[in-house]
Structure 1
Amino acid sequence: MKEKYFSQLTSEEKHILKDKGTEPPFSGVYNDFFEAGIFVCRACDNPLFDSHTKFQSGCGWPSFDDEIKGAIVRYEDFSTGRLRTEICCSNCNGHLGHVFHGEQFTEKDIRHCVNSLSIRFIPHAKN
């Protein structure tokens, strides 16, 4: 983990990104947020998700059915006693959330379940 990226974060953001925490469901600013742009890592500004891949899953956290190529790394996570796949920023290794397969929310059949506190939105430039 690259410590320099975490020095400017709030304690809540550090808890998510550095300590692998989880914000309460339906509490995040991006859960019901649907504007055109990209979502970047809050710690290092690495582009992670394009807004056109975001969808409403009803799970209480922002959900995306695709990532920007090379933006995410995956790790096996047994912290809850069952196997999950953790997703982290490929640049700073900050914890973003988890990825799930086989739920049939979208044609891609994948859901990146992401903490709002781990990402930041950058709107597309308006012409």
Structure 2
Amino acid sequence: MIDTAARTDGQHVSQSGYDLTPIRGEERDRLAEKLTPEERHIMLDHGTETPFCGGLLTNKEDGVYTCRLCSLPLFRSVTKFESGTGWPSFYEPFDPEHVREIEDNSHGMRRIETRCARCDSHLGHVFPDGPRPTGLRYCMNSAALEFDKE
């Protein structure tokens, strides 16, 4: 976490105190070297993992789900719910500034793609059919996430 009071260099810091300065170029390439071919396909080529196969789908532990590439916190376990879709689903991000939403008209559908706000990696999609209090379902690829147990 970044001390927001100490920031004077123009970097963008989220309300929750995390540096959102974009990671690009050589730094992003260096971070991507640690990804498996499947993780790379999902995160960098906007792929989708097979439903009901992701390693974090059934995780029930308390903690925070972070971006696999840059470690930015994305979702808290308390917002995870069983959607029946085959992908980890959340009703609210860790911080709204940490998840970018982009219109996605691929495959003959109109959807909203979600990307990490810091490294621009593909995470999944968000749909307006989730539970209260938000009514949203952030449908994520397990391969795009890491889990940090509390």
Provide the TM-score with structure 1 as the length reference.
0.92
Q: Residue 79 in 1 paired to residue 106 in 2? A: yes
Give the unaligned 5+ runs of structure 1: none
Bigger mean CA deviation after superposition, 4-13 or 33-42:
4-13
1:18 to 44, 59, 67: 44
- Contact 1:23 1:115 survives alignment (8 Å): yes
Give the unaligned 5+ runs of structure 2: 1-23
Aligned identity (percent) is 41
Which structure shows the higher helix fraction? 2
- Aligned residue pairs, count: 123
Secondary structure at the aligned position of 1:13 is classed as: helix
Higher relative contact order (CA 8 A, sep 6+): 1
Spell out structure 1 runs of 4+ moving beyond 6 A: none
Q: Residue 115 in 1 paired to residue 141 in 2? A: yes
Provide the TM-score with structure 2 as the length reference.
0.78
Q: Residue 48 in 1 paired to residue 74 in 2? A: yes
What does residue range 28-39 of structure 1 map to in structure 2 within 5 Å?
A: 28-39=54-65
Bigger mean CA deviation after superposition, 105-114 or 45-54:
105-114
- Which has more radius of gyration? 2
AA at the equivalent of 1:27:
C
